Amino acid sequence: MSRAGLNKDPDDVSAMFDGVAKRYDLLNDLLSLGRTKAWRKVVTATIAPTAGMKILDIAAGTGSSSRPLADAGAEVIPLDFSEGMLAAGRKRHPDLPFTHGDALHLPFNADHFDLTTISFGLRNTSDTAAALKDALRVTKPGGRIVIAEFSQPTNLIFRTIYLKYLMRALPAIAEKLASNPAAYIYLAESIRAWPNQKGLAEIMSEAGYERVGWQNLTFGIVAVHTGYKPKTAPTT
C-alpha cells in the first residue's frame, strides 16, 4: 500500500476498499465517534433532493450517501471503482443502480446531472483536479457539486490535538477492529495530507466551479464544500 503523501495507485486503492467493504460503514461510525450519520444528514440537507432530480453520487461505496437521496425521490446513481464496495452496496440496497466507474473518467455524457456529489472519497482519487473537472463536465450548466471531506479543525489547540493524537489513535483502534488495519493507516494519513478548507476551495475554483463555499462540521474536522457550474461557457 502506497503512503498517502505519494501518488495513489488506483488499483491499490481499489483493492484496499475491496478488502474493507463488508465492515467499512460500521468501522467509519466507530472511528468517527458516531458522527458519520450526522455529517451525512447535513450533506443530504445541503443537496436538498427532490423527486426527479438527477444526481451522480461519486465514490458512493456501499450506498449510505445515496440511500436518503433516493428515498427523497431523486434519480441517484451510486458510482464506485471498488467492486467489493459495489457488491456490498447491491446486497444492502438492491433497488439502487450501482455502477462501476472511475471518478477521473466518468461513464456519462456531458451536462447530464442536476447535481454531483462525493462524500469522503475525493481525497482517494489519484488526481483531485481531474476528478473535479470530470464531475463538472457531467453536471448541467448551473448545476451544483456537493463535497463532504475531512478537513482541518479551525481552532489551533483542537487541531493540534486532533492531528497529533486522534490520527495516531485511529490506526490503533483499527488494529483491534479491522481485518485490514493497513487500510486505516492509509486513511489516517490521507486525512492528514489533505488540503484545508481554503485549499480545496481554490482547487475547485481552478477546476472551473464558481460561487465556491464551505460549511464546517464538528469544529472543522469535516467540511462540506459546494460549487456551481457556470450557466454559460467562459469566453476565451
Per-residue pLDDT of the chain (236 residues; tens, 9 = 90+): 444 443 455 666 556 565 555 566 666 665 566 788 899 999 999 999 999 999 999 999 999 999 999 999 999 999 999 888 899 999 999 999 999 999 999 999 999 999 999 999 899 898 999 999 999 999 999 999 999 998 989 888 888 888 777 667 776 776 776 666 667 677 777 888 899 999 999 999 999 999 999 999 999 999 999 999 999 865 43
Residue 234 maps to a domain:
no
Determine the pLDDT at residue 40: 92
User: In this predicted structure, what is the pLDDT of residue 174?
Assistant: 67
Domain range for residue 18?
10-228
Contact 207, 25 (CB under 8 A): no
Query: Which residues, other chains included, contact 199 with Cβ-Cβ below 8 Å and sequence gap of 6+?
Result: none
Nearest of 87, 94, 80 to residue 14 by alpha carbon = 80
Name residue, grid cell 433497488: 95
2 in a domain, yes or no? no
H or E element, residue 142: strand 139-150
- The pLDDT score that the predictor gives to residue 2 is 42
What's the total number of domains in the chain?
A: 1
Burial of residue 66 (number of CB atoms within 10 Å: 0-12, 13-18, 19+):
buried
CB 207 within 8 A of CB 137: no
What dihedral do alpha carbons 180, 184, 189, 193 form, nearest 10°? Answer: 120
By CB neighbour count within 10 A (0-12 exposed, 13-18 middle, 19+ buried), where does 30 fall?
Answer: middle
User: Quick check: is 235 in a domain?
Assistant: no
Which sign does the torsion angle of CA 147, 186, 162, 24 carry?
positive
Is residue 177 within 8 Å of residue 27, measured between CB atoms?
yes
Query: pLDDT (tens digit, 9 = 90+) per residue, 150-184?
Result: 898 988 888 888 877 766 777 677 677 666 666 76
Distance CA 174, CA 30 (A): 9
Residue 16 is given by DSSP the state H
pLDDT at 6: 38
Instruction: Report residue 52 as a C-alpha cell.
Output: 426527479
Q: Residue 169's pLDDT is what?
A: 74
Enclosing H/E stretch for 171: helix 167-177
Residue 1 lies in a domain: no
Tell me the C-alpha distance between 39 and 44, whole Å: 9
Indicate whether 153 belongs to any domain.
yes
**14 lies in some domain:** yes
d(CA 94, CA 90): 5
pLDDT tens string 54-80 = 999 999 999 999 999 999 999 999 999
Q: Tell me, yes or no, whether 182 lies in a domain.
A: yes
Residues in the chain: 236
Q: CA-to-CA distance for 42 and 131, rounded, in angstroms?
A: 23
pLDDT of residue 230: 97
154 belongs to a structural domain: yes
CATH number at residue 96: 3.40.50.150
